[in-house]
Amino acid sequence: MPANPQLLTRSGGIRVLLLLLLFLLIDERPASASVVGTNLPAQSLTAERVAQLPASQRAAWLAYLRRSQTQRQADKAAFQAELKNAGLATPIEPPHGNSTRGIPLNRDAGWYASAEARNIADIIVSFQTPAGGWGKNLDMSKHSRQPGERYGPDNLSHYLAGGDFDAPAEPDWNYIGTIDNDATTTQLNFLARVITAEGTTPTAAWRASFLRGIDYLLAAQYPNGGWPQVWPLEGGYHDAITYNDDAMTQVMELMHNIFQGQGNFAFVPADLRPRAAQSFARGLGCVFKTQLSNNGKRTIWAQQYDPLTLEPTSARNYEPPDPCPAESTAILLLLMNDLPKPSADVRQAIKSGIGWLRKTAIYGQSWGPAANGRNLTAHADAGPLWARYYLAGADTPIFGDRDKSIHDDVNEISAERRNGYGWYTTDPKEALDRFDAWQKEHPEAK
């Protein structure tokens, strides 16, 4: 069997043409073969790469890198000192929980003044990293962090193999400070609710923790306005600008709420609001720069982008750097909901994204359990439905596997990945529904 062609370029039609030429030249399989490429690893943000930038851009990026490296070293040193003072040779493992378990954001306002809510707020404060963020997949309904207890549970993949994109450089210091899986933004939103709750007396610790968390997010923002998945940086795809799991859009939503200074965020000091407004504006600029194009026409967004080139990049082995409707939905909703006076650029970004979602919607099929696992099955009245990823330039569904192979048929990937990942989604329907109302609110956008 010949080698599979790699995904060599991300530029729409050129990429598709290269793939076709490579198949003709080196692939002996029939034209219906389902392997369409091999996923390539994301590049870390390094001083060597920054040195290749135009001279006018290097200073800001080098300063960012130094700040990240200094903070990472300080965080690790503080933890080692804590271990020593506690007389521990091995760190204590914290309770594991999916996403941000134990931090509810959907209770009635009065509940946030309860003893239960106040206890969770205290636990949140105790698990804040020295840099000011939080780890992911930590159950914060259990107990406050003890001296020598890790800031996050074991988040290592159970399927690591040689050359795996998910293999961390330092397994013992992984996701220590992240916006992945709703981390950090959820803790900050919860603290804001408890601080604001009527009938409770905010403690200085809650306020200080909240402000440290905002400073953490401001420090983590790249010079071009994007946010990495993990900060201080830990390398690999974690350094990429990350829309995956709505990470960056959740940070932008939080910044928007802070500079508005209303509701749960009325307590935020006045001098912080302009900083949040500037951060939001810079993030918006990054959103515009990263909207993908096909033959000069804007479409939607990929999950992650290289911080220096702003080209789409891979995440895990099975997550290719291609258009992603679910994450794009969150971006479109942010643009439609948080910008009451949308500029021409905003209006065009929204209309282009919605147009692409309408064009790629799948009808007459549903995604769900079947006798041999999850499958796409025909149902006359089903839809709309979208694939998780679409091949850039061709706008046809693609699917990744743990061996880094990219397929055009979900049934061709391993059973473990087919059943263990959300390859289809109905999320964009929310953006389409919101767009109908948005157009009525903004007739100038028609």
**How do residues 66-112 score in pLDDT, each as one tens digit?**
999 999 999 999 999 999 999 999 999 999 988 888 899 999 999 99
**What's the token pair of residue 88?**
């521990």
Split at pLDDT 50, 70, 90, the class of 140 is: very high
Residue 125: what residue type? V
Top pLDDT among 161 and 330 is at 330
Catalytic residue among 118, 282, 316, 418: 316
Q: What confidence score (pLDDT) does residue 28 get?
A: 41
Q: Is 316 a catalytic residue?
A: yes
Q: Which residue stretches of 201-343 are H helix?
A: 204-220, 247-260, 273-290, 325-338
**What's the token pair of residue 194?**
């408890």
**What's the token pair of residue 244?**
């995956």
Sheet strands side by side (includes 35-38): 35-38, 405-407, 397-400, 389-390
CA 114 to chain centre: 32
Over residues 157-164, the mean pLDDT reads 91
Distance in angstroms (rounded) separating the CA atoms of residues 150 and 82 = 11
Q: What confidence score (pLDDT) does residue 21 get?
A: 43
Location of structure tokens 């603290």: 191
Distance in angstroms (rounded) separating the CA atoms of residues 419 and 367 = 11
Distance in angstroms (rounded) separating the CA atoms of residues 333 and 65 = 32
Do residues 306 and 10 touch, judged by C-beta distance below 8 A?
no
Instruction: Give, in order, the Cα–Cα distances in Å from 14 to each of 19, 77, 360.
Output: 9, 48, 20
Lowest-confidence segment of 7-11, 334-338, 352-356, 375-379 by average pLDDT = 7-11
Q: Which residue stretches of 320-401 are H helix?
A: 325-338, 344-360
List where CATH 1.50.10.20 sits in the chain: 1-33+294-446, 58-290
374 SS3 class = strand
Neighbours of 1 (CB within 10 A): 8
Neighbours of 79 (CB within 10 A): 21
Split at pLDDT 50, 70, 90, the class of 2 is: very low
Catalytic residue among 137, 155, 174, 181: 181
Q: What confidence score (pLDDT) does residue 32 get?
A: 52
Per-residue pLDDT at 309 exceeds 60: yes
**What's the token pair of residue 52?**
């290749």
Distance in angstroms (rounded) separating the CA atoms of residues 29 and 37 = 13
Over residues 255-277, the mean pLDDT reads 96
H or E element in which residue 49 lies:
helix 47-50
Split at pLDDT 50, 70, 90, the class of 445 is: confident
CATH pick for 1-33+294-446 out of 1.50.10.20, 1.10.10.350, 2.40.50.100, 1.10.10.1400: 1.50.10.20
What CATH number labels 58-290?
Answer: 1.50.10.20
**How do residues 376-391 score in pLDDT, each as one tens digit?**
888 899 989 999 999 9
State the Rg of the chain over Cα: 23
115 SS3 class = helix
